[in-house]
Amino acid sequence: GALAIVTKSGTNEVHGSAFGFYRSDSLRTRGALEEGTQNFSRYQTGFTLGGPIVKDQTHYFVSAEYVKEQNIVLFRPGGAFTDLAEDVSNPFNQLMFMGSLDHQISDYQTLTAKLVYESYHMNNFHVGGVSDVSYGNSLDRKNWNLLLNHTWVIDDNRLNELHVQAGHRKYDEPTNSTAPAEWFSSGATLQTGTNITGHILGDGDYYGISDTYHWQVMIGNSTHDIKFGGAVQWISEESDIPLYPN
């Protein structure tokens, strides 16, 4: 499958926007299954800004968004452990950024650079149901992607597009506990201790370059679009999933 995304770019005038959202825990009705008084609030803010560096030639556009949420997961063990039930705090925060730079090299050539970045952190990942706090993990994720694009209008019938891409992703899931994992009733009533997947780590880099040549040909009364090109991609991925560490 493929995913196509359209993003904004700067113009000859400076334009921007900003927004904010806050949801207070006091403005909600507690869920029927909740037992405690854990906070359930959300704060979200962001902005966009775009404009010229050199009018009619070089423009910029940036946007950023930050989300911070105090969430809740329900720990509900079964069997002889029902008295241990509690509502567990499950907060997360996320930062997202996008920046672009567009430069008109000439009447026939343009250069575009786009950078996307995301940072995400969550506490008590994998907690809930019959899994207690000790069985959970933290989740840290950082990703970025850089895309460079050169477009050349050779003449009325020919166009060339060159794309260069680089990116990096990293995720880290340290455990909440180092105690031996214990499953009661084969894990159906209570799961406690170190999560059996252990401290998961992942790291990856990818680079790619592609070029597409477009040629529009008139044959008689019909028009034909011919495309040809090539692409090279290099990917390096490393994952560590230490099953049953304790």
Whole-number pLDDT of residue 19:
95
pLDDT tier at 21 (50, 70, 90 boundaries)? very high
Whole-number pLDDT of residue 220:
79
Three-state secondary structure call for residue 27? helix
The string of pLDDT tens digits covering residues 68-110 is 999 999 999 999 999 999 999 999 999 999 999 999 999 999 9
Block residue for tokens 């989740």: 139
pLDDT at 25 over 90: no
Mean pLDDT of 209-235: 92
Q: What is the dihedral of CA 1, 232, 143, 7, to 10 degrees?
A: -60
Q: Report which of residues 1 and 112 the model is more confident about.
A: 112
Whole-number pLDDT of residue 2:
43
Mean predicted lDDT score pLDDT of the chain = 91
pLDDT at 31 over 80: no
- Are the beta carbons of 174 and 202 closer than 8 angstroms? no
pLDDT tier at 9 (50, 70, 90 boundaries)? low
pLDDT tier at 245 (50, 70, 90 boundaries)? confident
Reduce the secondary structure of 41-84 to three states and give it as a string: EEEEEEEEEEEEEECCCEEEEEEEEEEEEECEEEECCCHHHHHH
The string of pLDDT tens digits covering residues 99-157 is 999 999 999 999 999 999 999 999 999 999 999 999 999 999 999 999 999 999 999 89
Enter the DSSP assignment of 221: T
pLDDT at 24 over 60: yes
pLDDT tier at 33 (50, 70, 90 boundaries)? confident
CA of 46: how far to CAs of 65, 69, 120, 180, in Å? 4, 15, 16, 43
pLDDT at 4 over 50: no
